[in-house]
Structure 1
Amino acid sequence: MKEKILHILKNSSEEFVSGESISKELGVTRAAIWKYIKQIREEGYEIESVSRKGYRIVNSPDRLTAEEVGEGLKTKYMGRNIMYFETIDSTNIKAKKLAAEGVLEGTVVIAEEQTEGKGRLGRSWISPKNKGIWMSLILRPDINPMKVSMITEVAAAAAVKAIEDMGVKAYIKWPNDIVVENKKLCGILTEMTGEVDKVNYVILGMGINANLDLEDFQSELRDEATSIKIETGKNIVRKELVAKLLNYFENFYESFVIKGDIEKSLEICREKSILLGKEIQVIGRNEVKKARALDIDNEGRLVVRFDDEKEEAIFSGEVSIRGMYGYVE
């Protein structure tokens, strides 16, 4: 009921809506309307109430609910079903459960806080409340399972475009990190459930350090991680960034999955790459090898040349990539 009242107020074009009209439309008492209005205010909405006129929203909080994110969406299905949580263990864990139950493609699980956020290779991900974007998309691409890893690059292209729309110059550290000033701003985690020749579903997890302060990071991470707020000195409106990200992602994802064309995404990944042309470390299970990053090929693999002049195209799941002396450099 609270969501229905909020929807009515949001669609009133800043005009007052009388308690009586809301009462009639929803079939509840005006006393009940007042109770829900109070709850909505407690969530951070500034609502003006005037006798004989009714209610109107004066200001909305930066919450990542369907109502708030939806205002900026231009998608057909990405983000049109948002499962919102104040606190959750992990959006990826919840998304897997929902995907197994058959929820629609494009469903987004998003939370203000994660208590067990995780990144690639089982690493933990710091996810403080109301400061970042912690979300997972449920995808059901009709593609060869061998091509699923390329969705990471589709997501990276969408993320870097959305972040730059917020006024921050960003780069991609192949295959799944967005970097600002040589520090990690965003991580992408792609997990698939399927069979040899069929994808059942893909969970695309994304964590973006939007409004974190320096003290939100553990001391050992402060040289490698950053946030949009740290880099710009001001908070961004997170719901705007989420909407931009989903808009870009649906566009690039449909090109790849429906048309079989990933060139648009790969072009962005090459153009915004922070690794190409640099000396890097290719870290495998049992060895670390020096190489130069040459290109990203049409399969989304990183093409490198080792010290022995041998060239190789590397799949993202095979190795970790670092700069010669640190995270990027």
Structure 2
Amino acid sequence: MTSREQIIQLFRQRLGDYISGREICSVLQISRAAVWKQVEQLRELGFEIEARRSRGYRLLESPDLLLSADISAELGTSLIGRKVHCTSEIASTNQLTQQLAVDGAPEGLVVLADAQTAGRGRMGRCWTSPAGVNVYCSILLRPPISPRQAPQLTFLTAVAAAETLNALYSLNARVKWPNDILVGGRKIAGLLNELSAETEQIHALVMGVGINVNMTAAQFPADLRYPATSVRIEMGAVQPRLPLVRLMLQRIDELYLEFLAQGFSPLRRRWEALFDLLDRQVEVDLGARIISGVVGGLEPDGALKLFLPDGSVERVLAGDVKPIGMQAKG
């Protein structure tokens, strides 16, 4: 941890109590002048810190910042979050995680940014990433599976994100194939998994998650392809990001260990329980053509199974899916 994170951790451990400058110097092995400088920097970040002669410093209030020390505290995961890297602004959390993976970063590394300047969604689309309001997170995995199975892990992050939103806020979040989370038919989160692999071996799989937490309606671009919402809009109030991040990482840890032990079937069942279009008539825009049929669920490789009117089955690997009725397959 940095000196700043160590000071924050001390304040958290002794919340409401004064901590003397001498004690901080002793724990961090820095000078009194360095302590004062760190405290001033924390104040600039929005921390309300009281200082009293002969008593020391006391933390009164914290801003809604995502800090590695706070996220790691009481996380309790087995793999995800072994190392947490937080930054104020970056081009893309997926991009940095890929670079760190090449440099030998351990499986379970979590990268978070307060803002992204080049956030990306599926098919190279831009992901709007303003500062201080959302969760932009990437997780590094090195799963002992074949590259053909890698798409299954997109559904893992979808389940974790949706279950987290439902557990914390009772939003009735639902999944949209292949990689979106909806609330009331509006997009609240998106996923982007990126793979580095050879023919039969995965070197690194980066799971990217973007969740709209405290964005206002005015912050969404006017040219969105899909209606969007945020936790703040749905709840009617600003929400702290730390509990969401911590619970989501715990869910991902739980689901990943289950996936490694039991395969895709339990995960597929959990995803389908959050999917409103199972057994419904849909229209799928494949780009070059549009097809319609009845959704039959997920194939083992993550493809969407579609029963066509002529009785044949279409495996959809990519496309935009829209409901057009409630007709179920016979």
Residue 139 of structure 2 corresponds to: 137
Structure 1 residue 297: deviation in Å?
4.1
Residue 62 of structure 1 corresponds to: 64
Q: Partners of 1:264 and 1:52 in 2: how far apart? A: 59
Residue 319 of structure 1 corresponds to: 319
The question of whether the paired residues in 1 share the 8 Å contact of 2:92 and 2:116 is answered with yes
1:244/1:191 Cα in 2 relative to 1: closer, same or farther (>3 Å)?
same
Q: Partners of 1:113 and 1:26 in 2: how far apart? A: 29
DSSP-derived class of the 1:280 partner: strand
The question of whether the paired residues in 2 share the 8 Å contact of 1:177 and 1:188 is answered with yes
The question of whether the paired residues in 2 share the 8 Å contact of 1:189 and 1:206 is answered with yes
Residue 28 of structure 1 corresponds to: 30
Q: Partners of 2:306 and 2:13 in 1: how far apart? A: 53
DSSP-derived class of the 1:106 partner: coil
1:287/1:157 Cα in 2 relative to 1: closer, same or farther (>3 Å)?
same
Structure 1 residue 47: deviation in Å?
1.8
Residue 161 of structure 1 corresponds to: 163
Residue 97 of structure 2 corresponds to: 95
How many residues matched? 322
Structure 1 residue 251: deviation in Å?
0.5
The question of whether the paired residues in 2 share the 8 Å contact of 1:278 and 1:292 is answered with yes
- Percent identity between the two aligned chains: 31
Residue 192 of structure 2 corresponds to: 189
The question of whether the paired residues in 1 share the 8 Å contact of 2:139 and 2:207 is answered with yes
Q: Partners of 1:61 and 1:70 in 2: how far apart? A: 17
Does residue 108 of structure 1 match 2:110? yes
Does residue 224 of structure 1 match 2:227? yes
| Partner deviation per Cα, 1:99-151 (whole Å, 9 max, x = no partner) | 11111111112111111111011111111111111111111111111110000
1:76/1:2 Cα in 2 relative to 1: closer, same or farther (>3 Å)?
same
Deviates more, 1:52-61 or 1:105-114: 52-61
Structure 1 residue 72: deviation in Å?
5.2
Deviates more, 1:69-78 or 1:14-23: 69-78
Map of 1:1-329 to 2, 5 A cutoff? 1-71=3-73, 73-167=75-169, 168-221=171-224, 224-257=227-260, 259-315=261-317, 318-324=318-324
Q: Which runs of 5+ in 2 are unaligned?
A: 326-330
- Show structure 1 runs of 4+ deviating over 6 A: none
DSSP-derived class of the 2:254 partner: helix
Q: Residue 198 of structure 2 aligns to which amino acid in structure 1?
A: E
DSSP-derived class of the 1:205 partner: strand
Structure 1 residue 48: deviation in Å?
2.4
Residue 328 of structure 2 corresponds to: none
Q: Partners of 1:195 and 1:228 in 2: how far apart? A: 39
Q: Partners of 1:176 and 1:244 in 2: how far apart? A: 20
Q: Residue 234 of structure 1 aligns to which amino acid in structure 2?
A: A
DSSP-derived class of the 1:8 partner: helix
The question of whether the paired residues in 2 share the 8 Å contact of 1:66 and 1:80 is answered with no
Structure 1 residue 255: deviation in Å?
1.1
The question of whether the paired residues in 2 share the 8 Å contact of 1:174 and 1:275 is answered with no
Deviates more, 1:15-24 or 1:298-307: 298-307
The question of whether the paired residues in 1 share the 8 Å contact of 2:93 and 2:116 is answered with yes
The question of whether the paired residues in 2 share the 8 Å contact of 1:72 and 1:240 is answered with no
Q: Partners of 2:88 and 2:283 in 1: how far apart? A: 39
DSSP-derived class of the 1:219 partner: coil
| Partner deviation per Cα, 1:245-268 (whole Å, 9 max, x = no partner) | 0000010011112x1333332222
1:158/1:223 Cα in 2 relative to 1: closer, same or farther (>3 Å)?
closer
| Partner deviation per Cα, 1:133-192 (whole Å, 9 max, x = no partner) | 111111111111111000001111111111112212200012211000101111101111
Q: Which runs of 5+ in 1 are unaligned?
A: none
The question of whether the paired residues in 1 share the 8 Å contact of 2:285 and 2:319 is answered with yes
The question of whether the paired residues in 2 share the 8 Å contact of 1:139 and 1:203 is answered with yes
Q: Residue 294 of structure 2 aligns to which amino acid in structure 1?
A: R
Structure 1 residue 239: deviation in Å?
1.2
| Partner deviation per Cα, 1:230-285 (whole Å, 9 max, x = no partner) | 1121111111101110000010011112x133333222211110221322222224
The question of whether the paired residues in 2 share the 8 Å contact of 1:173 and 1:179 is answered with yes
Alignment TM-score, normalising by the size of structure 1: 0.92
1:161/1:72 Cα in 2 relative to 1: closer, same or farther (>3 Å)?
farther
